Chains A and B, each alone.
Chain A
Amino acid sequence: MPPGKDLQSLSDQEVVALARAGKEAAYRELLRRYERPVFSLIFRMVRDRALAEDLAQDSFVKVLNALESYRPEYKFSSWVFKIANNVAIDQLRRRELNTLSLDGAPNASTRDEVEATALQAVDRTESPLSELESKELGSHIEQAIAKLRPEYRSCILLRHVEGRSYEEIAESLDLPLGTVKTYIHRARHELREYLEPYRE
């Protein structure tokens, strides 16, 4: 480690170099940096907390056990999201979990989780603007995201929830840049359509 710098102030590449040298604290630092974004991405993809935990674990085990094969010319975050997305997509293909339950995801245990994962009847007593501006919009958006195709879901989550650039998303998902832009455009269009009842 460069003198006078702690792990938190180092770049991903520097932390990876330390991890490759066998420093356990560097592994934990990488885990700390990406556990929330990766878990959030996978949770929103599969909509099952226990399954998302298992898949996030699998993703990190793959990432951390394969650090030797990581090529530093690519962004580390792209590599991590690529592996996490592949794990989630594989799971969705295997078990076809991209369906919605009216009562929320099977493992939603808290009220927030149930609200975030359940389909809710539209209450249109409020005006569109106040309705859309309300806190409930988040849960409606979550539901709308769950209805998107998995490819669109990955793109829109990485772009607008994780704040990744188009180039990084293309790198993460192994897609051409134009395809990523198209997917995000279509995903936003579909989200607008799902939220159409709130327009007025």
Chain B
Amino acid sequence: MSHKQLTDQELDALVVRSLSRLPAYAPSRGFEAAVMARVMLPQPRPVALYRRAVAWAAEPRRAVALAGSYAALALIALGVVVPWLVSHSPQISFALDWALGRSLALVHQTSAAFAGWTLSSGIAQRVQSLPVSAPAALAAGSLIAAAYAGCAVGLHYLLRTPRGLDATLPAQA
């Protein structure tokens, strides 16, 4: 066992060496989660602006003021629009009739053009010349309809809430 007295340099070297050997302490396990729960991650600018606007409008006084302004504007609009509609009803009625007539004429023209193209292109003759009897065509039509209905039912079951998912959970012991 040595009884040698340490010099200042030796003691200093020991201090430095001991400091460098001190262990690093680790925080508890939930540390990272606790920090991340308080960190605000950056959001896209439009989302941030929207959230800021919603937060601004959610303050009770502002919400009441906004709702009041909205109601007042709606009343003003009604007060202006309704009398205008009443005073211009003949012209409006005429314009609606004219627009309806034009639309129907357009539909007729389109239908006539399609029918004419079907006849002139020979598609109708080709369909008529297909070696398909009336019962076979009926069966094919029925099959297609049944397949369509089956697909619809299948999709319905596929997209609905999975069976048992919303069943009540057993009470915890």
Report A's interface with B, CB cutoff 8 A.
20-22, 24, 27-28, 31-32, 35-37, 39-40, 43-44, 52-53, 56-57, 60-61, 64-65, 68, 126-130, 132-133, 137-138, 141-142, 156, 160-161, 163, 188, 191-192, 195, 199-200
Q: Is the CB of A132 within 8 A of B6?
A: yes
Q: Is the CB of B28 within 8 A of A27?
A: no
Q: Is B136 in the interface zone, CB < 8 Å from A?
A: no
**Which B residues from 7 to 29 make CB contacts under 8 A with A?**
8, 11-12, 14-16, 18-28
User: How near does chain B come to A42, taking the closest CB pair, in angstroms?
Assistant: 9
User: How near does chain A come to B22, taking the closest CB pair, in angstroms?
Assistant: 5
**Which B residues from 25 to 71 make CB contacts under 8 A with A?**
25-28, 31-32, 34-36, 38-44
Q: List 7 A-B contacts (CB under 8 A).
A: A40-B23, A40-B25, A129-B2, A132-B11, A137-B18, A160-B16, A195-B11
Q: How many residues of B contact A (CB 8 A)?
A: 35
Within the assembled complex, what's the spacing in Å between the Cα atoms of A137 and B19? 10
Report B's interface with A, CB cutoff 8 A.
1-6, 8, 11-12, 14-16, 18-28, 31-32, 34-36, 38-44
A193 to B, closest residue via Cβ: B11
Give the contacting residue for A35; candidates B5, B16, B27; CB below 8 A.
B27
Give the contacting residue for A160; candidates B20, B36, B38; CB below 8 A.
B20
Q: Given A39-B27, A199-B5, A200-B6, are A57 and B15 neighbors across the interface (CB < 8 Å)?
A: no
Closest 3 CB pairs of A and B: A160-B19, A22-B42, A127-B1
A126: B residues at CB distance < 8 A: 1
User: How near does chain A come to B87, taking the closest CB pair, in angstroms?
Assistant: 56
Q: Is the CB of B19 within 8 A of A141?
A: yes
Within the assembled complex, what's the spacing in Å between the Cα atoms of A200 and B1? 12
B14 to A, closest residue via Cβ: A132
Give the contacting residue for B39; candidates A27, A129, A130; CB below 8 A.
A27
User: How near does chain B come to A112, taking the closest CB pair, in angstroms?
Assistant: 9
Q: Is the CB of A192 within 8 A of B32?
A: no
Within the assembled complex, what's the spacing in Å between the Cα atoms of A27 and B41? 9
Most buried by B among A22, A32, A52, A141: A141
User: How near does chain A come to B28, taking the closest CB pair, in angstroms?
Assistant: 6
B44: A residues at CB distance < 8 A: 22
Q: Is the CB of B24 within 8 A of A37?
A: yes
Q: Is the CB of B36 within 8 A of A128?
A: no
Within the assembled complex, what's the spacing in Å between the Cα atoms of A43 and B25? 8
Q: Given A24-B41, A40-B24, A200-B6, are A141 and B36 neighbors across the interface (CB < 8 Å)?
A: no
Q: Given A35-B27, A56-B27, A60-B35, are A138 and B18 neighbors across the interface (CB < 8 Å)?
A: yes
Q: Is the CB of B21 within 8 A of A128?
A: no
Supply 13 further A-B pairs (C-beta < 8 A) apart from A133-B14, A141-B22, A200-B3. A21-B42, A22-B42, A22-B43, A27-B36, A35-B31, A37-B24, A39-B26, A40-B23, A65-B40, A137-B14, A191-B15, A192-B12, A192-B15
